[in-house]
Amino acid sequence: MSDTSALDDKKTDHSIFPENFASNLVGFLTSLLVFILIVFIYFSGSGVVLYMCKLAQSNILPTEESCYPYTDSKPTIQPIKTNIFTTFTDELSNKLVFPYDEYNTSDKMLDMFREYKQKSSSHFLGNYFISIMEKIMSFNYATINTVMNSLNSIPETILVLLGPLMSGLLFAMTIVLNWFYIVYLWFANMAWFFKTNTNDSGDGLPEWESVSVTDPLNFGLGIGLVILFSILFFVGAGVWIFMPFFVLSYCYLSCMMYKGLLDGKKATSFTIIKDVFKYYKLSIVGIISAFVVLLAFSKLGTMQGIFSLVVIGLIYGGIISFDIFQPIQETNLTPLVSYKQATKKCISTKVSTKKHGFLYNLIMGKG
């Protein structure tokens, strides 16, 4: 009788704690930690997308090649307030402003390009590469500005929940477009090979003149460079294919570096990321709780799954005192403002001159 009783006890234990329960528990905890990390990264991305949408509405990204920081001509941009962390019931929100100040107008790479173009010793080969980079960066900033401003008009909750997925799709599509654009720019900007800087004074701005057949030495050099760079493009295609990724990544990271004012206080993209976890705590905790229950059923067993479901239900109902399901009270809320993008006026300082075609310039020289 005692042996039978012991055997019955073991069967009972197995029905509550399945075989390999210890290893299953380790698997449960490991999977949970990985999932929490994924949720943290995903909603951090939501904060970045939300920040970039407000930045796009403010319209201060360097999208125009004829304006600063590509040139010295600074655009006139209408200062506006943008809505962020809108309430579900009342038409209220916090306000995020991006001032077009000295910090937000600066771009380290574009500033470096602009300064080089204005040197008296500026070389045509350097300007060739700069021209490609400036055009692709302008294209990327314009794409980000247009798409993010469009996303800014959808409900904020949807933007937080789906923003990283939509942004990831945008990133992938823009990389493909970048690659085709770079192919075009690589050959289209070869006109720089037939230009020479005639300013040898060491002072002032560069003075560019087109090279023609009347200058056989420089004209032959230009033809040689066209052939060389055409070969280099196809030989180095495996390297150029990664270029769009790095350029677009730089543009995305630079967008995150802009600084704004959230309800009058200094704010960065990291401020918005932190506040996303604060104001969207219920959504985040709800997703994690659902995963905990599903994981408990699949990894630990039916009894443990039911237990986890009951515990989470008691916490949500307030029977177990734990405030993870309590929303954070928002402050500094004011009535909603317009979602219309700020107006930007860019006045080019370039002097309009009569232009001839590329073939004409090759034969006749400076236009």
Mean pLDDT of the chain: 85
Asked if residue 7 belongs to a domain, the reply is no
Instruction: Give this prediction's pTM.
Output: 0.84
The per-residue pLDDT for 354 is 46
Asked if residue 9 belongs to a domain, the reply is no
Segment 285-291 shows an average pLDDT of: 89
Residue closest to 315 by CA, chosen among 307, 327, 304, 323: 323
Segment 78-101 shows an average pLDDT of: 91
Q: What are phi and psi of 7, to 5 degrees?
A: -65, -40
CB atoms under 10 Å from CB of 182, counted, come to 20
Residue closest to 187 by CA, chosen among 242, 134, 228, 235: 228
Q: How many domains are contained in the chain? A: 1
Segment 155-175 shows an average pLDDT of: 93
Judged against a pLDDT cut of 70, whether residue 165 lies above it is answered with: yes
The percent helix, strand, coil of the chain (3-state, each to 5) is 60, 5, 30
Asked if residue 280 belongs to a domain, the reply is yes
Q: Is cis: bond before 69, omega within 30 of 0? A: yes
Q: Are 262 and 84 in contact (CB under 8 A)?
A: yes
Asked if residue 24 belongs to a domain, the reply is no
Segment 209-232 shows an average pLDDT of: 88
Judged against a pLDDT cut of 50, whether residue 230 lies above it is answered with: yes
Asked if residue 69 belongs to a domain, the reply is yes
Asked if residue 225 belongs to a domain, the reply is yes
The per-residue pLDDT for 363 is 44
Asked if residue 27 belongs to a domain, the reply is no
Asked if residue 5 belongs to a domain, the reply is no
Judged against a pLDDT cut of 90, whether residue 126 lies above it is answered with: yes
From CA 76, how far away is CA 155, in angstroms rounded? 29
Q: What are phi and psi of 96, to 5 degrees?
A: -115, 130
Cα torsion 311, 314, 315, 320 to 10°: value is -100
Domain that holds residue 133: 32-364
Judged against a pLDDT cut of 60, whether residue 280 lies above it is answered with: yes
